Structure formats: structure tokens, C-alpha cells
Amino acid sequence: MNTAVRLSLPLAHLIATVSSSATMLAVMVTVAQGEAASWAVAAVLLSAAIPAIVLAPLAAPLLDRFGPRSVVVVSAVVQVVILLLTAAAPTTAVLIAMVAARACVSALDSAALLLLADRAPRSHAPDSTARAFARLDTARLIGGLIGPLLGGIAVQFLDLSWLFLAQAVTVAILGIVARWYPQQAWEPVATPSSWWQRVTEAPALLFRHQAARAALTGLVLAIVFTSIFSTAQTLYSLDVLALDPIGVAILTQCFVVGRLFGSRLGARVTESRASTWLLGATAAMGIGLLLPGVIPNSIVAGAGFAIAGLANAIQVAAIRLIVVSAVPDSTRGRALAAMGSVNQTAGVAGTALAAPLLVAVGPAVALAVAGIGTLLAAGLTFLMRGARGRRPSALGVRRASSSS
């Protein structure tokens, strides 16, 4: 597969992410300026988060039955219809309904795109999966960086309907690229027979696989604590560092820039060393969050947030490789969907914990708590790795048997 074809999926994902991020910011601004803003903003956030937690694992067997290409294409078609209908009447109620409907329809998009990239014909180098995932991560991160800026500008000069029309075009482009993106030979999974068995098979395999269980347990705990950082970051910038709005924006982007560099490092993670990378990245993230908590300084905070962002991107790359190596190839899509649901749940739990913590101790101490908790999560992962011994992974067993 040549370079242009290989990059077409990440580029389409980039365009769609830019548009989606811009539209989401415009929606948040619009509902925040309307009546009953407090409940409307909360409703938008919950409508965007809950489907990824609840629906993704339940609908994951669709990836086996129809394949990732069909899932992305059908999702794109339905989303285009939703966006066009929303453009006709973008009231607050319609906007909330649109966010909820799109979140439901696109619940499997992330896992499907990863699976689409994983099944593309490419080199058999041991890090080829990591590189495929890293290209999509880089596209998503750049899109998340550029999109809100464009959305903030667009909402000042354009009617909201134009943003939905533009997003409908970008979603359609992603669907078209997915439809024609090259794939290796794939056969629908015939067993297990019942839908519930297919829903529970991947989580059960991950739980039984000791390396995956140790990695996911430590990472979930780390996500709970690092979600405190997401909530405390702006308050820390304003109340502790006394930065102006431009300074807050610059400090916020340090984390994003760190993630961009980390996504490049994530391409170097291999299946055999993924657990080590994950452990090191989790420890580095804890240090990156702890330093600004104990040393309230702008430069220290910028460096710490950049380290945390870099570590976060490596965590994402490593845990994906651990998950896909712990299950048979036919179960990878469901395993990725289950992992995403678990991570989202941990993020919501951490966000809920952040509010009372910030009220009780303030943003600086909250950051220190986030760093210490993340370091403890790294320690737990290390202890669980030490306890499991040297048992070969499921993928290693499969490869050994296939080569004999």
C-alpha cells in the first residue's frame, strides 16, 4: 500500500476531528448563552459521554458481524442525516438531541477506525500496529488542537447552521475514505453464537490475561486521578498562578503539545515492551502532575503539563498494544471497545471526584493529589506485574503455534 493511500485515513480523520471539535465548541458556547445554561451545558457533556460508556461494549459485536468498514460507513451516513436535520433548526433542545444521537451512532467509530487501520495491508514489522495507531492518534490530537480555535472564530462570524453543514461534508469524506480503504482478507465471526456471549467474551479474555489485567487495573486507577488534573488545570492557572486568559491558553496547550510529541514516541512501542512503556509513562505522568502541585510556578507547570501530555500519549499507545495482544485477532474490535468504555467510566469517576476535592483543598493540592495517586497507580501496576511471573501472552502462544 503506497504512502498516499496509507495516509488517506488519518487525513480524513484529521479533517473530521477538526470539524467535530469546532462544532462542539460552538454548541457549548451557544447553549451556555441560552436559557437554563447550567443544565443545558451539563446535558451536552453527559450526552456526549454516556453513550461511549454504555453502548460501545454492547454494540461491539457489530464489528465482528459486519467489519469496521461497514460500521464507519453506516455511522457516517446516519451522522450526515442528523447534522443536516440539526442545521435546519439549531435550537437548544435540538442541539442536545443532536449531540446525544451522534454519540450513540458513533459509539463504535473509535474502535472501528483503529481496527480499520490495523487490518490494512502493510509491513510485517513488529511495530507496524503501533505506527498505524499513532498516525490516527496524531490526527486526532492535531484536530483537537485546531478545531476549538476555528470553532471560536466561526461562532463569531457564521450562523451555527453553516458549521453543521461543514461537518456533514467532513463526516461524509471520512465515510468515503473508509469505504475504499484497503483491507486484508476478513471473515465474519460465527462463534460464539449469542449476542451476550460476544459482548462478554472480550472483557472476559482481558480479565483472564494477567498482563492485560495488571495494565488495565493500574491504568484505570491512574485515569481516575489524572481526570482531577483536567478539572483543576484552569482553576490552577487562574487562582494559583494568576495568569491572564492568554497565559491560561498557552499553559493549557502545553499538555496538548506534549501529547503530540508523545504520539510520535508511541509509534516506537512494541508488543513485547508495551507493559514497560506503560509503567514508565504512568510514573512520568504522576511526576508531571505532582511538580506543579508542590512548586506553583508557570515554567514548572508548563514543563509538568507537557511531560504529562507526552506520557499520556505513550500510555494510550501502550495499552492498545497490550489489549490487542491479549485477545485473538477476531476479538480485537470488541476488546478495543471494552477498553474505551472502561477508560471513559474512569474519567467520569475522576471528574466527579475532582469537584469536592477542589472545594476542600484547592487546585494546587488537587494537582499534587492527582500526581501522587498516579504514582501509586504505577506502583500497583509494578506489583501486579511482579506477581504474575513470566507467563507468555495469548498472542505469543498463537504465533508460536502458527509458526510450528
The string of pLDDT tens digits covering residues 24-68 is: 888 877 887 777 666 777 677 778 878 777 787 787 788 877 888
Same-domain check for residues 89 and 234: no
Same domain, 248 and 102: no
- Which residues lie below 8 Å from residue 286, measured CB to CB, with a gap of 6+? 222, 371, 372, 373, 374, 375, 376, 377, 378
Buried b (16+ CB within 10 A) or exposed e, 81-108: ebbebbbeebebeebbbbbbbbbbbbbb
In the numeric block, the cell 479533517 is attached to 15
CA distance 348 to 48: 12
Indicate if the pLDDT at residue 193 is higher than 50: yes
Residue type, 262: G
Q: What is the pLDDT of residue 202?
A: 73
| Total residue count of the chain as it appears in this document | 404
Question: Is there a single domain that holds both residue 56 and residue 143?
Answer: yes
Note down the domain range covering 316: 196-398
Which 3 state secondary structure label does DSSP give 48? Answer: helix
Residue 236 maps to a domain? yes
Q: What is the pLDDT of residues 281-300, one digit of tens each?
A: 999 999 999 999 999 999 99
323 in the same domain as 251: yes
The model's pLDDT over 161-172, given as tens digits with 9 standing for 90+, comes to 999 999 999 999
Is 275:215 a contact under the CB 8 Å cutoff?
yes
247 and 304 share a domain? yes
Do residues 297 and 237 make contact, with C-beta atoms less than 8 angstroms apart?
no
Task: Name 23's Cβ contacts closer than 8 Å, sequence gap at least 6.
Answer: 151, 163, 164, 166, 167
pLDDT, one tens digit per residue, over 214-267 is 888 888 888 888 888 877 887 888 888 888 867 777 887 888 889 888 888 887
Confidence of residue 375 (pLDDT cuts 50, 70, 90): very high
- Is it the case that residue 128 has pLDDT exceeding 50? yes
Which of 185, 218, 251 corresponds to the end of one domain? 185
- What cell numbers appear for 368 in the block? 499534587
* Same domain as 248, residue 132: no
Domain CATH for 86: 1.20.1250.20
